[in-house]
């Protein structure tokens, strides 16, 4: 096949001669085209030839976007994985296996209704386990928002939440010697304390902010303090138990007995039963009616 040129100075006869030679000798006679080719143009015939070649000695690759690539006889198709993203293995029987490596790196995001890794499952904003009711976290957890839950359980001996530390059955503060309970506190079992300071803020019938302290088996009230007893009726009347300002260490002992405490200004309670070996002085009026009885010790 020769290269044919027609210069601008050539004659029409030159053009006719070259054109006939090109169509007859270079393109070939259309009548001699194989009957297996149905195309009537050179481009169409070439396309048919490619299809026939690829169906016998080659094959065509097509991706998800319908992009095609013909692999002819003697050519190679390369299946290359991407580090930390995909693995491709070619094996006998014309088998190509595409999978994921043990460690997968995703540069943007991974979206799925449910993600499962081992026995840990993530669905929406919920993390759960498929084989038990316990999710084990082997590392530290940092939360910028709230953590809501019923129970917090750990396998170690000491657990810390904020500055509150729990070790076994002991609760203490990690940054001071005082823990603050900012709500009501109910103790179902016995309350055992070595030194306990109770410091309520006040109304008139409870201890004021100066506080009182419980030391083991004794109770120490602060200066000028009283004990108030409401009695059987909740009203404005109470019994106040107080002491005069001691000038020395004093001890008042209640006897091991049942009875009523007699007062200096309540003689009605001063009966013979409160005196040992008592004698009495009875004062009568002119009519012989007893007016007063004075009890005293026989000694």
Number of domains within the chain: 2
Residue 111 domain-assigned (yes or no): no
Same domain, 203 and 241: yes
**Is the pLDDT confidence value at 247 over 90?**
yes
Let me know if residue 182 belongs to a domain. no
Model pLDDT, residue 162: 78
Q: Give the per-residue pLDDT at 199.
A: 53
Is residue 214 situated within a structural domain? Answer: yes
Q: Is pLDDT of 136 > 60?
A: yes
Tell me the residue range of the domain where 218 lies. Answer: 193-245
- Considering the domain architecture, whether residues 262 and 218 belong to the same structural domain is answered as no
CA-nearest of 66, 61, 86 to 76 is: 61
Judge if 287 and 261 occupy the same domain: yes
In a domain, 224, yes or no: yes
Asked whether residue 216 is assigned to any structural domain, the reply reads yes
Mean pLDDT value across residues 208-223: 59
pLDDT the model gives residue 138: 80
The stretch 97-103 carries a mean pLDDT of 87
């Amino acid at each position: 096949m020769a290269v044919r040129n027609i210069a601008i100075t050539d004659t029409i006869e030159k053009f006719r001669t070259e054109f006939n030679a090109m169509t007859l000798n270079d393109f070939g006679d259309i009548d001699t085209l194989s009957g297996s080719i149905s195309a009537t143009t050179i481009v169409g015939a070439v396309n048919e030839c490619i299809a026939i070649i690829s169906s016998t000695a080659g094959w065509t690759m097509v991706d998800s976007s319908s992009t095609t690539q013909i692999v002819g006889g003697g050519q190679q198709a390369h299946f290359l994985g991407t580090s930390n993203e995909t693995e491709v293995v070619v094996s006998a029987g014309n088998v190509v296996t595409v999978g994921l490596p043990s460690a997968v790196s995703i540069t943007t995001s991974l979206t799925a209704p449910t993600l499962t890794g081992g026995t840990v499952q993530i669905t929406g904003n919920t993390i759960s386990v498929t084989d038990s009711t316990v999710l084990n976290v082997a590392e530290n957890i940092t939360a910028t928002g709230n953590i809501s839950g019923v129970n917090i359980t750990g396998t170690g001996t000491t657990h810390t939440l904020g500055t509150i530390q729990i070790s076994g059955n002991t609760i203490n503060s990690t940054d001071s010697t005082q823990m603050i309970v900012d709500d009501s506190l109910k103790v179902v079992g016995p309350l055992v304390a070595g030194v306990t300071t109770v410091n309520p803020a006040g109304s008139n019938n409870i201890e004021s902010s100066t506080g009182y302290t419980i030391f083991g088996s004794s109770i120490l009230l602060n200066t000028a303090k009283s004990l108030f007893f409401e009695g059987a009726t909740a009203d404005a009347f109470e019994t106040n138990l107080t002491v005069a300002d001691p000038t020395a260490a004093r001890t008042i002992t209640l006897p091991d007995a049942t009875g009523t405490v007699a007062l200096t200004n309540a003689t009605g309670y001063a009966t013979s039963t409160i005196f040992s070996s008592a004698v009495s002085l009875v004062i009568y009026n002119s009519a012989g009616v007893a007016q007063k009885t004075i009890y005293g010790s026989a000694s």
